[in-house]
Every structure is written in C-alpha cells, then in structure tokens.
Amino acid sequence: MRERVLRTITLLRRDLGEADRLAVLLSREEGKLAASAKSSRKPGSKLAPLIEPFVLADCRIIEGRGEIQRLAGGEVVEPFRGIRADIERVARASLMTEIADQGTEPGEAVSRLYSLLLDCLRALSAGEAPHAIELYYLLHSTRLLGYGISLAQCASCGEELARGDVALVAELGGLACDGCYTPQAGRWVGFQSLRAVRGYRSCRLADALALPFEGEPLARWVDGLRAHVRYHMGVSLRSLDVLRSLADGEADDG
C-alpha cells in the first residue's frame, strides 16, 4: 500500500469505535482526506496530538482500500496554542475549518484555500484582531469556493456601487444599492466601509490587518458574511451557533 508524508491541517475529528478516531485532514497536495487514527483515544497515544483541531502536522498516511486512509505516525509542526487559550478564537478557527470541510470534496485541488486557512490560523494564534481575520477569511474563502460576493455592482440591478449605503443580502448573493433594497431590511453598510472591504479583498492578510477598519462597521460586515455563508452553503454550521452564543453572552454581561 502506498505511503507518503503530507503536511496537513486538522479540519475535524470524531470518535470511531471504542478507542480510535477518524480525522478529516486538509493538505496542499491532495486536498481533503479522511484518515483513521488507531487507538488515538488511549492515554499516551502518539497519534492523538497530530489530529487535535487546527493542528498543522507532518503526517504519515497509508492508503486504504476505500475512502478512509490510515494515519501511521508523524510530527506536530505548529500546535497553534494561542488559539486554544481563548474560546472566541477557538470558535472562529472552528468556523474556518468547518467551511473548508463542508465546501470541498475529497481529493479536490485546494492549494489556495489551504494557504488561506493556514495564514488565518497563524494570525489568530499570534493574537491578531479576530474580527478582522474572520472577515478576511470569509471574503476570500467564499470566492475560492465559488460563491463570493461582488464588491463592484449591485446584485439586483447590476449598477456600479459608487456612493450611498449598500445592503449585504444573503438571498441576492451579494450587495444591493439603496435603490433596490429598503432601509428596513438587510444588513446596511456605508460606502466608506465598502472601500475598506475592497482593500481586504485585494491585498494579503498582513496588509489587510494594517488597514484602519474596526468597531461597528467591521462587525456588520462579519455578521452579513456569516449569513451569506450559511445561506449559500445550505448546511448547518455549528461554529456559527457557538459564535452567536458567545456574542449573546457578552451582550448580557454588558
């Protein structure tokens, strides 16, 4: 059976049988794959650290007879401890990996999505602004997965978005100008913040995080893009429910 070493990001894991786990991994070379980790639930397992959520690891993978392959060993490259120290960062990282899992098929070429996810996990672990990192990931992952929004034209009438307020409307698949959507509905964002988001979409993550964009305008874009993802993926994303619960808890504390 073919054996190779892949550098992978753990997208998710779940229990398998009495002592094993099944891990869904993402690699630059082979895309998404499922691998069984024998006895990884037992104390002292050498495989367990390799399939912790979000971990970047060099994994020895042995090809199986079906779709499920076997994790034979490996070495952790980056554990991303900075993410694990904060529940909000864990929830945002979970959303990123969940989107990568739900949006791809096994064996699909996803090198750009892999690089995007890795960059965002590193930034989260380093303590960079979590709202801004999530916005960057949502903007770019939706584009890579085929349902990104246009930041230039109204999704309803096709006119150029040149001034005034715009609404982010999940059902339209993008932005609507103030002539196509009522102020009583949608997630309204100002044109000034639209310019900032265009900057996020046109530059690298490090440059985007240096842009002056924060507070309520940033939160509105994140909220709107979460709704866009939920609507267009057509699946339940548990991490979105966790993030909403965290936000509700902060509001109650306030």
For residues 212-220, average pLDDT: 88
For residues 219-234, average pLDDT: 91
Assess whether pLDDT exceeds 70 at residue 183. Answer: no
> What is the strand order of the sheet 187-189 is part of?
174-177, 166-169, 187-189
Verify that 69 and 112 share a domain, yes or no: no
Verify that 203 and 146 share a domain, yes or no: yes
Which of the residue ranges 181-185, 214-218, 234-238 would you say has the lowest mean pLDDT? 181-185
Cα–Cα distance list, 34 to 22, 191, 213, 231 (Å): 7, 43, 38, 26
Which are the contacts of 128, defined by CB distance < 8 A and separation ≥ 6? 209
Verify that 73 and 87 share a domain, yes or no: no
Examine the fold and report which residue of 40, 57, 79 is the final residue of a domain before the chain moves on: 79
In angstroms, the CA 222 to CA 138 distance is: 8
Q: pLDDT at position 172, please?
A: 86
What's the number of CA atoms in the CB half-sphere (13 Å) around residue 20? 11
Verify that 49 and 100 share a domain, yes or no: no
Examine the fold and report which residue of 64, 79, 94 is the final residue of a domain before the chain moves on: 79
Which of the residue ranges 71-75, 83-87, 182-186 would you say has the lowest mean pLDDT? 182-186
Verify that 9 and 101 share a domain, yes or no: no
For residues 47-59, average pLDDT: 97
Categorize the per-residue pLDDT at 39 as very low, low, confident or very high, splitting at 50, 70 and 90.
Answer: very high
CATH of the domain at 169: 1.20.1440.120
Q: DSSP 3-state helix, strand, coil percentages of the chain (rounded to 5)?
A: 45, 25, 35
For residues 138-156, average pLDDT: 93
User: Where in the sequence is the domain holding 30, given as residue range(s)?
Assistant: 3-79
Verify that 54 and 94 share a domain, yes or no: no
Which of the residue ranges 181-185, 205-209, 232-236 would you say has the lowest mean pLDDT? 181-185
Determine the straight-line distance between the first and last CA of the chain, rounded to whole angstroms: 58
Verify that 133 and 75 share a domain, yes or no: no
Verify that 176 and 61 share a domain, yes or no: no
Counting the structural domains of the chain, the total is 2
Pair of tokens at residue 206: 């490090």
Q: pLDDT at position 184, please?
A: 58
CB 174 within 8 A of CB 159: no
Verify that 231 and 108 share a domain, yes or no: yes
Examine the fold and report which residue of 79, 102, 127 is the final residue of a domain before the chain moves on: 79
Q: What is the pLDDT of residues 2-13, one digit of tens each?
A: 899 999 999 999
Verify that 30 and 128 share a domain, yes or no: no
Which are the contacts of 66, defined by CB distance < 8 A and separation ≥ 6? none
Q: pLDDT at position 46, please?
A: 96
Verify that 98 and 74 share a domain, yes or no: no
Give the Cβ contact number of residue 77 at 10 Å: 14
Q: pLDDT at position 173, please?
A: 86
Categorize the per-residue pLDDT at 103 as very low, low, confident or very high, splitting at 50, 70 and 90.
Answer: very high
Which are the contacts of 75, defined by CB distance < 8 A and separation ≥ 6? 50, 57, 58
What DSSP string describes 95-135?
Answer: HHHHHHHHT--BT---HHHHHHHHHHHHHHHTT--HHHHHH
Q: What is the pLDDT of residues 121-135, one digit of tens each?
A: 999 999 999 999 999
In angstroms, the CA 95 to CA 131 distance is: 12
Verify that 106 and 218 share a domain, yes or no: yes
Categorize the per-residue pLDDT at 59 as very low, low, confident or very high, splitting at 50, 70 and 90.
Answer: very high
CB 118 within 8 A of CB 9: yes
CATH of the domain at 27: 2.40.50.140
Provide the H-helix boundaries in 46-86: 81-84
